[in-house]
Amino acid sequence: MENQHPSPNTDYDCLIFDIDDTLYPSSFGLNKLIGQNIIAYIIQKLGIQKEKASDLSLLLYKHYGTTLAGLRAIGYDIDYEDFHGFVHGQLAYSDLLKPDPILRSLLLSLPIRKIAFTNADAAHASNVLSRLGLEDCFETVICFETLNPNQNVSGVVNNASDLAKVLPTGSQDIFDIMGENVVSSEYPKTPVVCKPSIEAFELVFNMADINPQRTLFFDDSVCNIQSGKRVGLHTVLVGKSQKVKGADYALESIHNIREALPELWEALEKTEKVKYTEQVAVETSVRA
């Protein structure tokens, strides 16, 4: 754990937590299985060649935050429910995750409002949180459906053969519009709103009435952390012992939160001290 206190701030009034690989360690393997399912979806449902599916998924994930957002950007008409059902529907949550009473107790003892913010869909978020025993630890869960309330937009392509129609003239495949030689600012825009886009963070701030200057944001993704920093959040990179540019703190495990950020509990300790002092004062005056 790298514990930095560049400018200790005991005035946080909100904590935002990513879910996957943040509230449980990546070593549990859930996210890896999701990644494999996404590649299977690309091959089976979109007809993309097996040899290219993995590279494409990674490229889209890196640039857009989720492969789904990237697939929409490059022209695929994805039925969101079908996609999420395919990649999450068969996951054996009970085998992969177990209740975490330590984290539950830490979260419930925090005297600050807590919000979960994930790019995954509501069903996945709910399955993960309930399996971890954290379903009642958050004021609200902001997920894919929250930020993308309008379902599929028509007028986009449906399969690999249709994709040829939207590729630049002379292009052979998707990598011609998403490849190494293309400047990332020229990548097509996605209609999907998700981390790490600035738009996603600002929507969350508005929806949940959050002041980023007084909020700590926990996420395992360096991209999300750096984007969070750009929109004014205080940031905690989870799952890494070394902080990166844009991260104010680094926690190897979310379980280290209390030792790395004891100030989060200070508000409660102050309140308890005041209560105790008041109680003593009343008892003293009664006795007097």
- Note the residues at the interface with Mg ion (CB under 5 A): 18, 20-21, 220
* Shortest distance in whole angstroms from residue 66 CB to Mg ion: 11
Give CA–CA dist 71/87, Å, rounded: 14
Give CA–CA dist 142/144, Å, rounded: 7
* Shortest distance in whole angstroms from residue 261 CB to Mg ion: 19
Secondary-structure percent of the chain, ordered helix, strand, coil, rounded to 5? 50, 10, 40
- CA distance readout (Å), 34 to 54, 66, 83, 120, 288: 13, 12, 11, 10, 67
- CB 99 within 8 Å of CB 131: yes
* Shortest distance in whole angstroms from residue 124 CB to Mg ion: 12
Q: 141: helix, coil or strand?
A: strand
User: Residue 20 or 121: which CB sits closer to Mg ion?
Assistant: 20
Give me the phi and psi of 141, to 5 degrees please. -120, 115
* Shortest distance in whole angstroms from residue 32 CB to Mg ion: 12
User: Residue 10 or 36: which CB sits closer to Mg ion?
Assistant: 36
User: Residue 48 or 125: which CB sits closer to Mg ion?
Assistant: 125
* Shortest distance in whole angstroms from residue 22 CB to Mg ion: 5
User: Residue 66 or 148: which CB sits closer to Mg ion?
Assistant: 66
Give CA–CA dist 13/210, Å, rounded: 9
Give CA–CA dist 281/26, Å, rounded: 50
User: Residue 156 or 248: which CB sits closer to Mg ion?
Assistant: 248
